[in-house]
Structure 1
């Protein structure tokens, strides 16, 4: 297919549409965590509901994102990209109107299907349509704009949350998506790989989607019914069986969505193990930190969003330097020290107890965020370079897709497992502390019934003022204890990622970036 110059009219329209579509996904993912406290209160959602709201999207994205790229190559990149955008904006609009948690979860799944077709499409369209000499510059431009959008996501989410307009996090996607569709329809030509004769690996996608869903359901049912309940062990067993089936399908498929042969390369395996552990820790930290700030520490949602600015600024400022260091000296040292530094930052954050709110930010949360952000900033660019450089050029797109999917799978597991543990930790702490309060059994049951709401646990209104104050303190101290343990587990995951780099990643196995 004929390519176009980046500065041409066609090149500019390709960039604008790709950036706008990507902006929807980035705004949605970065802003949603910040508005979760408003969403939880508005829909009377439990802590478990929140984890499902996040995981419904991630499940579909993790299972289908690699197929999304393959469909674009086979059926037409513009066509699949537009289909993904359309499904995403329909899912976003229905999310915005969702009257209850169950419908919101279903609409988030629809968003995930759209995202799986849309997210690979943006870079695929750029890579296939912009001429080779300017392709790197085009991807750099796309990356710069999407990073700025990522920077604004938490701030935008915080502003909407404080104004009681959390639904607009979903509604804002609709006009952006419609404009992107018009540009694609009228200004951009179709692009497809005419030589592509591969079949689409739908059996693999179905088995991994159902397997991840079963494991998620099993873990998130644990706090309500316990590990010994038939729903839990049946779901977990089914999930393990389905993921085993997925591996068998991939090993025998002529055109697998996740070629297992790539994992024979120990550096590729090490980079993906690092991705899995680090992104699991990152996902849990980015979920529990805003909940702690807003529900326990007294921050507004806008102030909570602003606390992430140092993290994002570090990402923007250091990413290019880290990428240059990886090109010059190899990624191994950065992929050991970066995750380890992030782990130290998470540990520092875990030691923050009850504070006096935003006035204490600079001496409480800020140091940990700076260390954590520095570690992630020194990891992301070398990680991408190591993924792409550890395989031959022929498999670079597939390798990127596998790594992208694994980061989403890590998010699913982190939300499900650490979410279940959080509710168990909170319940256990309350059960122990409540024994010291002079309440009858019915009152104790009323207090305990709020445990599933985590930081949004509400003090019973019919208790006397003295007991209300005591119970409020118990809820706060219980959640801070949960937050500390989750952050410590997240730190452990980051340290495990650093260990994977130390054990498996070799600089000699990573190709150096060559300039065209």
Structure 2
């Protein structure tokens, strides 16, 4: 059951400033903010988890990627589920699953139980995140939707920004388990509000048959490939690792075959017939494939090698969030005037320069002169890149496929972060025997030795992204002004799948809080205000 049992279903009837509006915004902000907060606090707590559960780097990679596997593979399907079964109902289900998984993480006696909890958290996150914005778009009056979604974007952005401080503080004053325990009272409040105060909405024309085989194959493919990459760094090319490779690759092939033949695919392959769309998604994979490993490795390096406290290590990347919030809207407007190509060429090069600076970090590097310059260049690179990236994704397809385009791009970004966290440490020589059960000293030495090469690998990925952008047409793309205006960045992302009536749920941008509602959107369409570029665990 959902809130529809207590509150009648409605569509576009809630006015800004009313008690109903406040309840709806409170539930969606708290629910999404819980997931966004958790994604940032977990990374800060990784060294404490490593010491408590006596695990190596491969175990830490699974703590991050266990969440990302299910989130990446299921977030597109969950949008269709919410259309069919009710957005509040799926949102509440996601919150409940996330809370139960958080309890499992809190009391996990071993690493294996913690990873299992993170996998289930990914399922909950995939269910609740698209639903939160869909509830706002469907519930508020058309003239109030932009204001409501803008408030949601700002408030949930605050949750992501304070995450490193909260996580570091909880680790320092108590125990890493507190970062999961705080989710339980938040989830209880969200469920109570949603049940009694939030009106239900659904799409009467949603498909009866959903792409469950595609979702299952996506999980198996991502899981198999991720397992092989992580375990290769820990134990080498064992039979189990090669089995993961085979299972992952075969499942990926089966996934593509299913998506090509099913009536309502999660990932319609025909959309890649647009060259700009394909090029932009290739750049997305390279850029976010570098961002994920950066956020994973930097906080570990600062604590294990640099001697930073959890709070200081978590705050080290805060300039990325602040500059993206401040500059991305301006970057989108610039892309609308000159076209996205110049920024998509220059932005990744700024990222690469930042990674090169960070590659020189030593054990005693001070923050202001050692860490901050590289972090600022990374922040400027992302601020330059993300909004025009969104504009190009949306301008590369017809308007009626904007939701599909943004959802696909979002999924590619998350999957790239997942694979990056698994693969880059292996390529840099981090995660072998030195970090698997050999003591914190050996692990710290291995991280110190491999961090520089890892940053140079990430710089290379960004240079490749810049080269990809050269394949884009010069000048403004069709509809790019509209798309860029909707592309300001605000941390974490969410995505939903298209509807069966071939009028997909529309997004105002994969990567930012909308400055207004999507043109022509109706109560059943979603104007997404967040993007894939957020730090995500």
TM normalised by structure 2 equals 0.84
Do structure 1's residue 452 and structure 2's residue 461 form an aligned pair? no
Aligned residue runs from structure 1 range 166-205, under 5 A: 166-205=176-215
- Alpha-carbon deviations, 1:256-312, whole Å to 9, x = none? 001111111122212221221111100001011111100111111111112122222
Q: Deviations over 1:300-330 (max 9, x none)?
A: 1111112122222112211221122223333
Alignment of structure 1 residues 119-198 onto 2, 5 Å: 119-198=129-208
Partner of 1:337: 346
| Cα contact 2:233–2:425 (8 A) shared by 1 | no
2:272 maps to 1:290: no
Partner of residue 375, structure 2? 369
Q: Which runs of 5+ in 1 are unaligned?
A: 428-448, 460-471
SS at match of 1:512: helix
Which residue of the partner structure matches residue 424 of structure 2? 418
Instruction: Provide the secondary structure at the position in 2 that maps to 1:192.
Output: coil
Cα distance in 1 for residues equivalent to 2:473 and 2:222: 28
Q: Using a 3 Å threshold, how does the CA distance of structure 1 residues 64 and 6 change in structure 2: closer, same or farther? A: same
Match of 1:390 in 2: 396
CA contact (8 A) 2:233 2:430 kept: no
Measured on the aligned residues, the alpha-carbon RMSD in Å equals 2.0
> How far apart are residue 178 of structure 1 and its match?
1.4
Displacement of 1:31 in angstroms is 1.3
Contact 1:19 1:142 in 2 (8 A): yes
User: What pairs with 1:227-246 in structure 2 (closer than 5 Å)?
Assistant: 227=237, 229-246=238-255
Give CA deviations for 1:356-395 in whole Å, capped at 9, x if unaligned.
6xxx211111110111111112222332333233322322
Q: Does 1:100 align with 2:110?
A: yes
Q: 1:324 to 1:7 in 2, by over 3 A?
A: farther
Relative to structure 1, the CA distance from residue 171 to residue 385 in structure 2 (aligned partners, 3 Å threshold; closer, same or farther) is farther
Contact 2:32 2:129 in 1 (8 A): yes
Task: Indicate which of 37, 41, 45 corresponds to 2:55.
Answer: 45
Unaligned runs of 5+ in 2: 1-9, 486-515, 520-537
CA displacement at 1:24 relative to structure 2:
1.0
What is the CA–CA distance in structure 1 between the aligned matches of 2:307 and 2:368, rounded to whole Å? 15
Task: Quote the offset at 1:111 in angstroms.
Answer: 0.5
Contact 2:92 2:194 in 1 (8 A): yes
How much does 1:84 deviate? 0.6
Q: Offset at 1:65?
A: 0.4
Aligned with 1:504: secondary structure? coil
Mapped to 2, the partners of 1:115 and 1:426 lie a distance apart of: 28
More helix by share: 1
Structure 1 residue 451 displacement after superposition: 3.4
Query: Does the CA contact (< 8 Å) of 1:201 and 1:255 recur in 2?
Result: yes
Whole-angstrom CA distance in 2 between matches of 1:305 and 1:503: 37
Distance 1:49 1:275, change over 3 A: same
Structure 1 stretch 145-154 or stretch 506-515: which is displaced more? 506-515
| 2:89 pairs with 1:83 | no
**1:460-479 map, 5 Å:** 476-479=444-447
What are the equivalent positions in structure 2 for 1:253-268 lying under 5 Å apart? Answer: 253-268=262-277
Aligned equivalents of 2:52 and 2:473: distance in 1? 47
SS in 1 for 2:362: coil
Q: Give the equivalent residue in structure 2 for 1:407.
A: 413
The 4+ residue runs of structure 1 with deviation greater than 6 A are: none
Asked if the contact 1:319–1:381 (Cα under 8 Å) also holds between the matched residues in 2, the reply is yes
Alpha-carbon contact 1:33-1:287 (below 8 Å) kept: yes
- 1:508 matched to 2:477? The reply is yes
Match of 2:527 in 1: none
- TM-score between both structures, scaled by the size of structure 1: 0.87
CA pair 338-224 structure 1, distance change in 2 beyond 3 A: closer
Which position in structure 2 is the counterpart of 1:484? Answer: 452
Taking the aligned partners of 1:283 and 1:253, their CA distance within structure 2 comes to 32
Which of 355, 376, 382 is 1:346 aligned to?
355
SS in 2 for 1:241: helix
Structure 2 residue matching 1:299: 3-state secondary structure: coil
